[in-house]
Amino acid sequence: MGSGPAVMVYGAYGHTGRFVVDELRGRGFAPVLSGRDGTRLRATAAETGAPDARTAAVDDPASLDRALAGTAAVVNCAGPFATTAAPLIEAALRAGIPYVDVAAEIEANADTFTHFAERARAANAVIVPAMAFYGGLGDLLVTAAMDDWTTADEAHVAYGLSGWHPTEGTRAAGRVSRQRRGGRRVRHAGGRLEYRDDDAPTLIWEFPAPLGPRPVIGEFSMADVVTVPSHLPVPEVCTYMTAEAASDLADPDTPAPAAVDERGRSAQTFLVDVVVRSGGAQRRAVARGRDVYASTAPLVVEAVHRILTGRTLTVGVASAGAMFPARDFLRALSPYIRVELRP
């Protein structure tokens, strides 16, 4: 166990939660494992060698308070975040500690900004939603690409995944998210979220080599449509997903990710291509790596480290690109995610 600050991981026995626990331990933190299912929690504690496991339920505030006792921060890895985010944020505010989550649910992230921005600012608290591969990485890339631009006309975030074997948590969160918006897709257009009933367009996206031109689903509903415009004056935010990965996600028979290395990562690779346009000018940022779930762990743990060492840009509810200097943060991810910024 690390000798550094204790950080509670809610949903520690989930697929992403396990990666976060390992990353925390590797960086010297003392992870406190938590979740509703005591049996799974104890099994994970035994497997990981983590000595501190505390059962808690989001519908039992007292149990959350006990689980957070003596911790310096909480990372919420338990979806659906429509259910878990608000109770854990309330508990973090009571405890006076930072809250970070890995939510990809558009509505849950929007709720966090809507319901907690004023309270968190007044309490001088730090709350960072979507500090993950989806929502967080795209926001950092857009922010870094804009650099000294104060505004832009449009931002495009294209996800080039070799495939997508979703976890059960991803599927459950997706079902809740779709139910909340009545099955409609969502995009950010004209400076606001727009819900649409028509089919998303299919087009070709020119990814950088070696991926090259690939069919993508345009206006694929992703958390970037909340995180990016939460702090950047970009009226059009468009997200895209490679058709193969979108098909994998839609297929109920696609299996969960399978580990192929000693770190538990799958064979999945990704390339995230961000293009920002202003007038006739264009800037680009490209991120490459492996396993979207495993890559969430260094993102969220780097965020926790910076928050606890006072290296933040603001207080209240803020997305990754608003809370941290984007280019510096992305450089810190270099052992895991390779980033290239282009004019």
Domain residues of the chain, as ranges? 6-131+296-327, 133-292+328-342
Instruction: Give me the residues paired with residue 217 across strands.
Output: 202, 241
Separation of alpha carbons 29 and 180, rounded Å: 36
Separation of alpha carbons 194 and 219, rounded Å: 11
CA atoms within 13 Å, Cβ hemisphere of 208? 15
Separation of alpha carbons 164 and 299, rounded Å: 19
pLDDT in tens, 271-316: 999 999 999 999 999 999 999 999 999 999 999 999 999 999 999 9
What's residue 2's pLDDT? 62
Separation of alpha carbons 205 and 208, rounded Å: 9
Instruction: Give me the residues paired with residue 189 across strands.
Output: 192
Instruction: Give me the residues paired with residue 213 across strands.
Output: 206
Helix (H, G, I), strand (E, B) or coil at 131: coil
DSSP 3: S
Residues in the chain: 343
What's residue 342's pLDDT? 82
Q: How many CB atoms lie within 10 A of CB 118?
A: 11
Domain 6-131+296-327 has CATH 3.30.70.330: no
What's residue 276's pLDDT? 98
Angle (CA) 106-102-162 rounded to 5° is: 85
Separation of alpha carbons 294 and 289, rounded Å: 10
Helix (H, G, I), strand (E, B) or coil at 63: helix
DSSP string for residues in 203-269: EEEEPPTTT-EEEEEET---THHHHGGGTS--SEEEEEEEHHHHHHHH-TTPPPP---STT---S-E
User: Do the beta carbons of residue 258 and residue 269 sit within 8 Å?
Assistant: no
Separation of alpha carbons 252 and 274, rounded Å: 29
Separation of alpha carbons 279 and 153, rounded Å: 7
CA atoms within 13 Å, Cβ hemisphere of 238? 20
Separation of alpha carbons 335 and 329, rounded Å: 12
Q: Which helix (H) or strand (E) holds 110?
A: helix 106-122
Per-residue pLDDT of the chain (343 residues; tens, 9 = 90+): 567 999 999 999 999 999 999 999 999 999 999 999 999 999 999 998 888 999 999 999 999 999 999 999 999 999 999 999 999 999 999 999 999 999 999 999 999 999 999 999 999 999 999 999 999 999 999 999 999 999 999 999 999 999 999 999 999 999 999 999 999 999 999 999 999 999 999 999 999 999 999 999 999 999 999 999 999 999 999 999 999 999 999 999 999 999 999 999 999 999 999 999 999 999 999 999 999 999 999 999 999 999 999 999 999 999 999 999 999 999 999 999 999 998 7
Please indicate whether the domains covering 6-131+296-327 and 133-292+328-342 agree at the CATH topology level.
Answer: no
- Return the amino acid letter for 338: R
CATH architecture of 133-292+328-342: 2-Layer Sandwich (3.30)
Query: What angle, rounded to 10 degrees, do the helices at 106-122 and 168-180 form?
Result: 80
Give me the chain's average pLDDT, please.
Answer: 96
Regarding pTM above 0.75, the answer is: yes
Angle (CA) 16-38-90 rounded to 5° is: 70
